């Protein structure tokens, strides 16, 4: 009401002439007199108008200004002076206490600094993780086409493969699509100049791709770089690799065996924080010349990326395209189409999970570490309340009220955390390389405003949280008793302190058990019998050049007696496979309604079985003696057989993609995939096309010499080609990089947790031993032995740790079990882990209190009692 009237009046005033007092001055005045606003503001306004009408604007304004300045000195004195004086006093007493109690100060500051350093490092890492793919100018409007399909067994399967014809059909039908590009980047091809050749992965993209994604062109024009069919865009590093100091633009590069491409552009390497690896770009149309059918609805070797118009509602769009396949592709009918933002690709796996899980886990752990440090702080300050009781008592008597005392103690804890915080910055700066090594990426030590604000907030919050309970305890002391020194830490706070210690240890035990569990699973993953031999096997990525001369390679290499056998395969035994759709496979004796789920196809030669030591269950493997094997034989694994449900499979006919085969053998199941997943049906074909890898089994003696021999021979046969030799088992370890990181990270966190809990315990026990000096002395005088005393002191710790154990077992069991469920094959959690972790925790606890206990129990009672 009032406001409306005021506005009304104000307008009327303006029509006449401005007679109001200056608005900004009014505002200042209203701040100065916040409590008595209405009266004073009205009065000044009224008087202002009086002066205005009598003596003019200038005098009136002057008068108003005086009204503002008049109260200022008093205001400043009353608000700042005293708080400043008190602050000075608090600081003095705070530093005196720090100086007097160096051990506690060290424990508090070290613990908090470590915790906060964790915070800083983790937030740097998280900042990096969420920055993925944000550097593209259009990153908010770029999407990847994904599909989901409901398998007959009820599982949902997600994938990004799309048929080649999809892109154009989508573009035609949906006007919201600004640009669309297909992409293939799993193809390795031999790139080279006259004197240098390397097997390189290249990325086949359509010209629109360069408009959609932001690449930094060092040379060349992004608009025209891929418009010619025989062009290639190199990354900075590849350009340097092939042309050294020469200008790469306009140079020719040999692509495969029969094609020359013109370098039309050089781009900067794609930053690490992108789902796209840094690869050279070549026009998509080349695939057609390589024999790919890029415009059909069958198959699905392409990724498709979409650039939508701004402000398209993704949910609505996804609903529109969900059943897109129904209209065009009968064999894709089951698959539901949708788009996902490219900024989600890195963090969120399609089936859920992905690095985001690790972000959560490690933020959680960081909070735990910080909690531990806070607990130390709380414990030590409440325990020390006895020693400070005199100071508090005197302050109270002189007139400090509870609020002031609380303020003082909170301020102290904030000061400690601020100090720890600055220490943490230094620590994290020096630990960043460790983090980089752990995560395998280069994270820079840089902060944006949001992070600085967040971290400062964390520091202050930590200060407040760890100070609030001690503040409460200390400020509630009875002043008379406090000054007399008759304060004993109450039973409640003692219990709480023990509880907190137990809490600390339960976290430490949790971490120890988790660490062992993760470690055990990792060991299991990397050493489990996979059903084939993976030791002493060299794998070589196969280039077309070697492929064509394979017979020469074979005869040359087999001359060396150290080389036992060699084989070619279309898979590298780690992850990438050709898979079939559901209806691609039929077989003789197939019962109605039965279908083969997603099945893996692997092309191998007859030496495959011997080289990798795979066992047969039934029938025979491919053989050179049966030339027909090459065209019409398949070998299937046990899982496939189980699904096909055949009594006597050997000799039965089966079709794969409308090609006829005959089953000649059953091989024992082996893990051709990571252990995350169960063994799936596998069909081996003896086709001599699209081999990607050579496996060479070599004698375990003279490994290095043999490897050098292979390298030399390959260079002789294919000059200029530089093969990448790897050991198969190392290759397989690469599949579990995430687990390896997790294992290392848990190790570090466990160490930190134990460190912080132990120094906390050390501080507390050294304190309570000091407190009980007299008690111990009297006990001794009355005849207690050193052992008795030590036992008594140990008992407390023992009870805490034991209680912690009981609480933590079920929690950690559930957590670990949940994690292990991600793996189709996993280790078991024996009771041994738990016993080991508990004894370790106990041993560490005893170790950290041992010195103090020893000192206390060995002390001469005369010394402690003499000063009475």
Tell me which stretch binds another protein (CB under 8 A): 3-11, 556-564, 602-610, 713-721. 3-11
Find the shortest distance in angstroms from Cβ 39 to another protein.
4
**Binder of another protein out of 14, 18, 27, 43 (CB under 8 A):** 43
Find the shortest distance in angstroms from Cβ 28 to another protein.
13
Q: Give the nearer residue to another protein in terms of CB position, either 20 or 236.
A: 20
Q: Give the nearer residue to another protein in terms of CB position, either 26 or 588.
A: 26
Q: What is the CA radius of gyration of the chain?
A: 37
Q: Which residues within the stretch 271-300 sit at the binding site for another protein (CB under 8 A)? A: none
Separation CA 634–CA 656 (nearest Å): 10
Separation CA 605–CA 616 (nearest Å): 15
Find the shortest distance in angstroms from Cβ 101 to another protein.
46
**Binder of another protein out of 28, 40, 356, 357 (CB under 8 A):** 40
- Counted residue by residue, the chain has a size of 868
- 108-139 burial string, b = 16+ CB within 10 Å, else e? bbbbbbbbbbbbbbbbbbbbbbebbbeebebb
**Binder of another protein out of 21, 238, 413, 637 (CB under 8 A):** 21
Find the shortest distance in angstroms from Cβ 399 to another protein.
21
Find the shortest distance in angstroms from Cβ 15 to another protein.
13
**Binder of another protein out of 11, 17, 24, 39 (CB under 8 A):** 39
Q: Is 480 in the site for another protein (CB under 8 A)?
A: no
**Binder of another protein out of 22, 25, 28, 45 (CB under 8 A):** 45
Q: Give the nearer residue to another protein in terms of CB position, either 37 or 296.
A: 37
Task: Kindly list the distances between the CA atom of residue 866 and the CA atoms of 446, 541, 642, 785, 863, in Å, as whole numbers in the listed order.
Answer: 59, 83, 86, 20, 5
Separation CA 537–CA 122 (nearest Å): 39
Q: Give the nearer residue to another protein in terms of CB position, either 39 or 627.
A: 39
Q: Is 41 in the site for another protein (CB under 8 A)?
A: yes
Tell me which stretch binds another protein (CB under 8 A): 28-36, 126-134, 648-656, 812-820. 28-36
Angle in degrees, CA 717, 718, 722, rounded to 5 = 125
Separation CA 89–CA 83 (nearest Å): 10
Cβ–Cβ < 8 Å for 288, 294? yes
Separation CA 723–CA 704 (nearest Å): 16
Pairing of strands 599-603, 682-685: parallel
Q: Is 506 in the site for another protein (CB under 8 A)?
A: no
Contact string (CB under 8 A) for another protein, positions 57-96, x = contact: ----------x--xx--x----------------------
Give SS3 for 593. coil
Q: Number of residues in contact with another protein, rule: CB under 8 A?
A: 29
* DSSP string computed for 428-467: HHHHHHHHHHHHTS---S---HHHHHHHHHHHHHHHHHHH
Q: Give the nearer residue to another protein in terms of CB position, either 73 or 810.
A: 73
Side-chain-side CA neighbours of 282 within 13 Å: the count stands at: 27
Q: Is 20 in the site for another protein (CB under 8 A)?
A: yes
Tell me which stretch binds another protein (CB under 8 A): 39-47, 214-222, 371-379, 421-429. 39-47
- DSSP H/E element including 771: helix 737-771
Q: Give the nearer residue to another protein in terms of CB position, either 6 or 628.
A: 6
Find the shortest distance in angstroms from Cβ 64 to another protein.
12
Give SS3 for 622. coil
Q: Which residues within the stretch 621-660 sit at the binding site for another protein (CB under 8 A)? A: none
Tell me which stretch binds another protein (CB under 8 A): 18-26, 107-115, 145-153, 851-859. 18-26
Cβ–Cβ < 8 Å for 614, 670? yes
Tell me which stretch binds another protein (CB under 8 A): 9-17, 209-217, 465-473, 830-838. 9-17
Tell me which stretch binds another protein (CB under 8 A): 29-37, 428-436, 611-619, 837-845. 29-37
Tell me which stretch binds another protein (CB under 8 A): 19-27, 432-440, 500-508, 681-689. 19-27
Separation CA 477–CA 6 (nearest Å): 53
Q: Give the nearer residue to another protein in terms of CB position, either 9 or 76.
A: 9
- 50-67 burial string, b = 16+ CB within 10 Å, else e? ebbeeeeeeebbebbeeb
Q: Is 49 in the site for another protein (CB under 8 A)?
A: yes
Q: Give the nearer residue to another protein in terms of CB position, either 72 or 799.
A: 72
Q: Give the nearer residue to another protein in terms of CB position, either 12 or 102.
A: 12
Q: Give the nearer residue to another protein in terms of CB position, either 46 or 730.
A: 46
User: At residue 606, what are phi and psi to the nearest 5 degrees?
Assistant: -60, -20
Find the shortest distance in angstroms from Cβ 69 to another protein.
11
**Binder of another protein out of 18, 27, 42, 401 (CB under 8 A):** 42
Q: Give the nearer residue to another protein in terms of CB position, either 26 or 582.
A: 26
Cβ–Cβ < 8 Å for 47, 66? no
Cβ–Cβ < 8 Å for 317, 174? yes
Q: Where are the alpha helices (DSSP H) in 384-444?
A: 385-398, 402-439
SS3 labels along 690-733: CCCEEEEEECCCCHHHHHHHHHHHHHHHCCCEECCEEEHHHHHH
**Binder of another protein out of 31, 50, 151, 394 (CB under 8 A):** 50
Find the shortest distance in angstroms from Cβ 32 to another protein.
8
Contact string (CB under 8 A) for another protein, positions 568-607, x = contact: ----------------------------------------
Tell me which stretch binds another protein (CB under 8 A): 47-55, 271-279, 658-666, 694-702. 47-55
**Binder of another protein out of 14, 18, 27, 36 (CB under 8 A):** 36
**Binder of another protein out of 18, 31, 38, 277 (CB under 8 A):** 38
Q: Is 351 in the site for another protein (CB under 8 A)?
A: no
Helix, strand, coil abundance in the chain, percent, nearest 5: 55, 15, 30
Helices (H) and strands (E) in the chain, counts: 32, 25
Find the shortest distance in angstroms from Cβ 40 to another protein.
5
Tell me which stretch binds another protein (CB under 8 A): 2-10, 318-326, 442-450, 650-658. 2-10
Separation CA 325–CA 337 (nearest Å): 8
Cβ–Cβ < 8 Å for 393, 483? yes
Q: Give the nearer residue to another protein in terms of CB position, either 81 or 445.
A: 81
Q: Give the nearer residue to another protein in terms of CB position, either 38 or 442.
A: 38
| Residue of 502, 346, 431 lying closest to 118 (CA atoms) | 431
| Residue of 682, 686, 689 lying closest to 629 (CA atoms) | 686
Separation CA 534–CA 556 (nearest Å): 23
Tell me which stretch binds another protein (CB under 8 A): 30-38, 171-179, 220-228, 240-248. 30-38
Separation CA 365–CA 868 (nearest Å): 49
Q: Which residues bind another protein (CB under 8 A)?
A: 2, 5-6, 9-10, 12-13, 20-21, 26, 32-33, 36, 38-47, 49-50, 67, 70-71, 74
């Amino acid at each position: 009401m009032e406001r409306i009237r005021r506005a009304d009046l104000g307008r009327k005033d303006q029509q006449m002439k401005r007679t109001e007092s200056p608005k900004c001055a009014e505002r200042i005045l209203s701040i100065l007199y916040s409590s008595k606003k209405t009266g004073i503001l009205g009065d000044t306004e009224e008087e202002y108008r009086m002066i205005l009408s009598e003596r003019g604007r200038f005098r009136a304004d002057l008068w108003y200004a005086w009204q503002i300045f008049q109260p200022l000195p008093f205001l400043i004195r009353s608000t700042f002076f005293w708080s400043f004086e008190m602050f000075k006093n608090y600081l003095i007493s705070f530093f005196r206490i720090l100086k007097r109690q160096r051990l506690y100060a060290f424990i508090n500051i070290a613990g908090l600094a470590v915790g906060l350093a964790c915070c800083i490092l983790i937030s740097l890492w998280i900042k990096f993780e969420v920055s993925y793919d944000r550097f593209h100018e259009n990153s908010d409007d770029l999407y990847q086409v994904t599909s989901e399909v409901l398998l007959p067994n009820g599982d949902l399967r997600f994938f990004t493969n799309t048929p080649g014809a999809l892109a154009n059909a989508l573009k035609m039908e949906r006007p919201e699509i600004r640009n669309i590009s297909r992409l293939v980047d799993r193809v390795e091809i031999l790139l080279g100049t006259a004197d240098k050749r390397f097997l390189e992965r290249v990325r086949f993209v359509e010209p629109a791709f360069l408009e959609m994604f932001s690449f930094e062109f060092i040379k060349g024009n992004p608009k025209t770089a891929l418009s010619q069919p025989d062009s290639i865009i190199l990354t900075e590093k590849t350009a340097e690799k092939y042309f050294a100091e020469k200008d790469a633009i306009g140079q020719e590069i040999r692509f495969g065996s029969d094609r020359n491409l013109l370098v039309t552009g050089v781009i900067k390497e794609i930053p690490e924080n992108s789902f796209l690896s840094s690869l050279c770009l070549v026009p998509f149309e080349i695939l057609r010349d390589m024999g790919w059918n890029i415009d059909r609805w069958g198959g699905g070797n392409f990724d498709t990326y979409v650039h939508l118009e701004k402000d398209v509602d993704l949910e609505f769009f996804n609903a529109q395209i969900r059943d897109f396949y129904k209209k065009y592709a009968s064999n894709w009918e089951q698959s539901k189409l949708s788009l996902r933002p490219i900024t989600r690709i890195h963090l969120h796996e399609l089936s859920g999970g992905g690095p985001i899980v690790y972000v959560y886990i490690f933020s959680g752990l960081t909070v735990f570490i910080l909690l531990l440090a806070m607990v130390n702080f709380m414990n030590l300050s409440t325990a020390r309340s006895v020693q400070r009781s005199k100071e508090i008592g005197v302050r109270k008597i002189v007139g400090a009220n509870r609020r002031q005392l609380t303020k003082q103690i909170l301020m102290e804890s904030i000061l400690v955390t601020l100090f720890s915080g600055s220490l943490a910055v230094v620590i994290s700066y020096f630990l960043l390389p460790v983090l980089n090594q752990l995560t395998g990426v280069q994270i820079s030590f840089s902060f944006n405003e949001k992070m600085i604000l967040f971290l400062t907030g964390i520091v202050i919050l930590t200060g407040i949280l760890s100070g609030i309970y001690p503040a409460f305890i200390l400020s509630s002391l009875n002043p008379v008793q406090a000054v007399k020194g008759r304060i004993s830490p109450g039973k409640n706070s003692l219990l709480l302190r023990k509880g907190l210690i137990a809490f600390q240890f339960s976290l430490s035990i949790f971490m120890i058990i988790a660490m062992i569990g993760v470690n055990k699973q990792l060991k299991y993953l990397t050493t489990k019998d996979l059903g084939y031999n993976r030791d002493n096997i060299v794998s070589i990525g196969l280039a077309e050049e070697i492929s064509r001369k394979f017979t020469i390679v074979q005869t040359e290499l087999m001359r060396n007696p150290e080389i036992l056998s060699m084989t070619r395969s279309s898979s590298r035994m780690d992850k990438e496979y050709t898979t079939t759709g559901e209806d691609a496979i039929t077989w003789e004796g197939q019962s109605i309604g039965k279908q083969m789920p997603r099945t893996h196809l692997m092309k191998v030669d007859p030496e495959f079985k011997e080289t990798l030591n795979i066992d047969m269950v039934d029938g025979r493997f491919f053989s050179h003696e049966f030339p027909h094997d090459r065209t019409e034989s398949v070998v299937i694994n046990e899982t496939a057989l189980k699904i096909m449900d055949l009594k006597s499979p050997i000799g039965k006919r089966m079709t794969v993609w409308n090609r006829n085969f005959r089953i000649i053998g059953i091989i024992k199941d082996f893990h051709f995939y990571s252990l995350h997943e169960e063994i799936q049906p596998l069909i081996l074909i003896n086709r001599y096309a699209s081999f990607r890898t050579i496996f060479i089994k070599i004698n375990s003696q003279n490994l290095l010499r043999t490897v050098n021999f292979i390298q030399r021979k390959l260079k002789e046969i294919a000059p200029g080609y530089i093969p990448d030799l790897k050991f198969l088992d190392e290759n397989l370890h690469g599949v579990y990089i995430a687990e390896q990181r997790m294992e290392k990270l848990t190790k570090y966190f466990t160490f930190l947790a134990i460190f912080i809990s132990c120094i906390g315990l050390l501080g507390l026990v050294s304190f309570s031993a000091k407190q009980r000096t007299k008690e111990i002395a009297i006990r001794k005088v009355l005849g207690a032995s050193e052992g008795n005393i030590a036992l008594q002191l140990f008992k407390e710790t023992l009870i805490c740790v034991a209680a912690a154990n009981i609480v933590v077992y079920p929690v950690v069991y559930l957590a670990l079990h949940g994690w292990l469920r991600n793996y189709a094959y996993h280790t078991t959690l024996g009771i041994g882990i738990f016993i080991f972790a508990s004894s370790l925790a106990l041993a560490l606890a005893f170790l950290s209190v041992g010195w103090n206990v020893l000192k206390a129990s060995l002390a001469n009672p005369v010394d402690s009692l003499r000063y009475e």
